[in-house]
Amino acid sequence: MSKRVLDRLNQVFGDAILETHSQHGDDTAVVEASRWREVARFLRDDERCAMNHFIDLTAVDYSDRREPRYEVVLHIRSLEKLHRVRLKARIGEPPSIDSLAEVWAGANWFERECFDMFGVDFVGHPNLRRILLYPEFVGHPLRKDYPAQMTQPLVEYRPEAIGKLPPFSEHEGMPFGRQTHDRAAAHVNALGFTDE
């Protein structure tokens, strides 16, 4: 039903729309990263789109699987017309893209979260700082190369505190047939970066 939005985008922006698809009924358009804000603003202001309801903004790290590495994903909907669309933009290292905080007020925190978790730099964001983690934290945990186990404590542990002892490891309780997307874990264990 919101196919029409995709058609309209194709019509207006032409080659800035790299790709569109509607897998599982979710209409998706991949936008050239440099025109990110422009497309977003158009979707909000255009009468036939009227996508005024901000839903979600996040990113995915495709790590070594895909080039460019990051994909910023935006979900928006229209309150009156009830259609939804997903916009994506692919960006490489170091990740950086225009901020949408001035288009939808709601993007503000979602972009901060995205910065916190992936280190995506949103150009023009009024207040880009960490939101879920603390300022002392180094690195961006949802990148695939951040080891899930690596903690960065703020207070010193009591000397009596006992950490995990062998044979317990991070694979405890995990089915062996699963895949892990945590590429860094093995690496870090070799470096001796553990809980203790």
Partner 1 sequence: MEPLDIELDEGELELPNDPMQVNMGPAHPAMHGTVRMVVELSGETITKVDVQIGYLHRGFEKMCERGTWTQVFPYVDRLNYASPMLNNVGFALAVEKMLGVTVPERCQHYRVVLGELARICDHLVCSGAMAMELGAFTPFLYFCKARELIWDVFEEETGARVTHSFGRVGGMAKEPTPAFKEMVRNALPAVRALIDDGEKLLLANRIFLDRIENVGVMPKDLAVALGWTGVVLRSTGVPYDVRKVHPYLTYDRYDFDVPVGTRGDNYDRFMCRQEEIRQSTRIIEQALEQMADEGPINIDDPRIVLPPKDEVYSTIEGTIQHFKIVMEGIKVPAGECYSYTEAGNGELGFYMVSDGSGTPYRVRIRPPCFATMQGIEKMIVGGMVPDVVPTFGSVNMIGGECDH
Partner 2 sequence: MSQTQRYVFEGSQQGFATTRLEDLLNWAKKYSLFQYPFVTACCAMEFMALASPRFDMARFGAEAPRFSPRQSDLLWVVGTISQRQAPILKTVYDQMADPKYVLAFGTCASCGGFYDNYTTLAGIDKVVPVDVYVPGCPPRPESVIDGLLLLQDKIQRGDRTPGIVKPRTDPHQVAKALAEHSPLVPLRTSKS
Neighbours of 185 (CB within 10 A): 20
Per CB under 8 A, contacts with partner 1 among 133-162 are: 133-134, 141-142, 144, 148
The item of partner 1, partner 2, none sharing an interface with residue 53, based on CB under 5 to 8 Å by kind, is partner 1
Write the DSSP assignment of 112-179 as a string of letters.
HHHHHHH--EEET-TT---SSS-TT--S-TTSTTS-TT----SSPPPTT-----TT--TTTT--TTS-
CB of 150 to partner 2, least distance (A): 6
Interface residues for partner 1 in 20-39 (CB under 8 A)?
Answer: 23-24, 26, 28
In the bound complex, what is the minimum distance in angstroms from residue 78's beta carbon to partner 1?
A: 10
Peptide bond into 175 cis (omega under 30): no
Cβ(45)–Cβ(16) under 8 Å?
no
For the CA atoms of the chain, what is the radius of gyration? Answer: 20
Of 47 and 160, the one with the shorter C-beta distance to partner 1 is: 47
Instruction: Choose the one of partner 2, partner 1, none that binds residue 138, judging by a C-beta under 5 to 8 angstroms depending on kind.
Output: none
Note the residues at the interface with partner 1 (CB under 8 A).
23-24, 26, 28, 52-56, 58, 60-61, 65, 73, 75, 79, 82, 86, 104-106, 108-110, 113, 117, 130-134, 141-142, 144, 148, 174-182
